[in-house]
Amino acid sequence: MSEETYIYLCNKLRPAMERQDTPFRECIPLKKRVAIALWKLATGSEYRSIGHLFGVSNTTVCRCVQDFCAAAETLLVPELIRSPDREQFAEMAAYTENRWGLPQCVGAIDGSHIPILAPQEYHCDYFNRKGWHSIILQGVVDGKGHFWNVFAGMPGKLWELASRGNYFPPCTRNIGGVNAGYYILGDNAYPLQNWLIKTFPDNGQLTAEHVIYNKRICRARGTCYGQQKKREQQDKETL
């Protein structure tokens, strides 16, 4: 993370995370509280290791992480991750078509399993196909790698509204004799929808057209998320 981004986070989260000194003890400075939380979220290190690194207790590390996440959800998410409006959807679709030749495509969706301790109730609901308990974090990015939807746990508002046909604006184009609306790209873990397309499963009987289609979908989807990873790498290099 660049110093500029770090200072930006501190200033944005100041109203929720800054603490005041009391007659009995000095508070931990805001910048240190943010740094502790970022270190935990970036590395996944144990509280004990982080506490030793920053000279604070395990409880303090835990509190900093919880306060940071709550503050980010309250102050950052509504400002930085918002559903596009009609004009923005049109711009995203135009960009994707110009770059990869995919008309009406407005982004790509992907997910990650976040490990958790098995809850006492309904623990089977959190048992994933990889053999451990987790919650799912999913994000949608546009062709430039900018997130415009993020949700964790159960399928979020995007999935519910899109399945009802109420999320994307009613803008269709005739493509190969089919009136196609806006859609996003997903991998084979997602079910095929009229607003989510994926590659044909490779069963050894793909036609030449199917192979070309799969390559185009994979290239576009991989580049969308590749743009985000590239920016993260650039942030690391500025340190």
Round to whole Å and give the CA distance between 66 and 50. 15
Residue 239 has pLDDT above 50, yes or no: no
DSSP states of 18-52: -----SS-PPPPHHHHHHHHHHHHHH---HHHHHH
Q: What's the confidence (pLDDT) of residue 226? A: 67
Could you tell me if residue 108 is left (phi over 0), alpha (psi between -120 and 50 degrees) or otherwise beta?
A: beta
Could you read off the pLDDT of 42-101 as tens digits, one per residue? Answer: 998 999 999 999 999 999 999 999 999 999 999 998 888 888 999 999 999 999 999 988
For the chain, what is the mean pLDDT? 88
Q: What's the confidence (pLDDT) of residue 57? A: 95
Round to whole Å and give the CA distance between 12 and 8. 6
Q: What's the confidence (pLDDT) of residue 111? A: 86
Q: Which residue has the tokens 């289609």?
A: 213
Percent above pLDDT 70 for the chain: 93
Helices 58-71 and 30-43: crossing angle in degrees, nearest 10, is: 90
- Least confident span in 24-33, 55-64, 150-159, 223-232: 223-232
Round to whole Å and give the CA distance between 239 and 237. 6
68: enclosing H helix or E strand? helix 58-71
Q: Are 65 and 41 in contact (CB under 8 A)?
A: yes
Long-range (24+ apart) CB contacts under 8 A made by 91-95 are 92/142, 92/143, 93/182, 95/142, 95/143, 95/144
CB-side neighbour CA atoms (13 Å) of 100: 27
Q: What's the confidence (pLDDT) of residue 189? A: 84
Q: What's the confidence (pLDDT) of residue 236? A: 47
Q: What's the confidence (pLDDT) of residue 126? A: 85
Question: Helix (H, G, I), strand (E, B), or coil: what is residue 212?
Answer: helix
Could you read off the pLDDT of 84-139 as tens digits, one per residue? Answer: 999 999 999 999 999 988 999 999 999 888 888 888 888 888 888 888 998 888 89
Taking every pair of C-alpha atoms in the chain, what is the biggest distance, in angstroms?
75
Q: What's the confidence (pLDDT) of residue 237? A: 46
Percent above pLDDT 90 for the chain: 56
CB-side neighbour CA atoms (13 Å) of 166: 5
Q: Are 184 and 106 in contact (CB under 8 A)?
A: yes
Could you read off the pLDDT of 148-163 as tens digits, one per residue? Answer: 998 887 656 788 888 8
In order of 2, 5, 18, 211, the CA distances from 140 in angstroms are 23, 22, 31, 25
**Considering the entire predicted model, what is its pTM?**
0.76
Residue 232 has pLDDT above 60, yes or no: no
Residue 218 has pLDDT above 50, yes or no: yes
